[in-house]
Structures are given as C-alpha cells and as structure tokens.
Amino acid sequence: MPLLHRLVRNDSAVISFTIDGAPCDGRAGDTLLTAVLCHVDRLRDSEFSAAPRAGFCQMGACQDCWVQLASGERLRACTTELAAGMHIVTQRGRSHG
C-alpha cells in the first residue's frame, strides 16, 4: 500500500519510471521521494534495525532517503526531480546471491 496519496497537481504531465522493474507513473515536478511513496510504503529498510525508512528531513540534510538507480547511481530522493525512464532499485529488488 502506498504511503502517500496525491491530492493536488493531477494535471501535471505524467512521467513514467520503474520501481524494481514495475512500471509506475509520477508527475512533472515530483521529487523521487514523492513519486516513489505514491506507489510503495517505504524507500528502504534501515541497515541497523530493518525498520522501514521513508525520508526524514525532506531537504537533503540527513542520510535517510538515498535511493539507487539500476545504473548504480545513488541519489537523494528528497532533492532529486523525477525524470522519465528512471529505473529505481530498492533493497527488496536487489539480488542477494
């Protein structure tokens, strides 16, 4: 179940991206944090306690919202604007073998 539900900006251009290979849509002007949390309930799990993490400061000062693209590039979800064709890979989508 998504953590966020869009209430405004439904008229902005649709941007397609994927989370762990699953097709998703965001809106022009969304940050990665907003786009991802409109589809899933967390960005990642804490490396210390496995508790769900979904961003904290919302301004790029903490280390809570890092996400990884399929290319291996790491980005801060709260300060990075969604771009068409982004392929976001979560911990659950990575192979641990």
CATH of residue 68: 3.10.20.440
* 26, part of any domain: yes
d(CA 66, CA 62): 9
pLDDT one-digit tens code per residue, 3-61: 776 766 678 899 999 999 999 999 999 999 999 999 998 887 877 888 887 877 777 78
pTM for the model stands at 0.81
Per the structure, the complete domain to which residue 46 belongs is given by 14-91
- Tally of structural domains, the chain: 1
Considering the chain, what is the average pLDDT of its residues? 85
pLDDT one-digit tens code per residue, 56-79: 777 778 888 888 999 999 999 999
- Cβ contacts of 33 within 8 Å, gap of 6 or more: 43, 54, 55, 58, 65, 77, 78
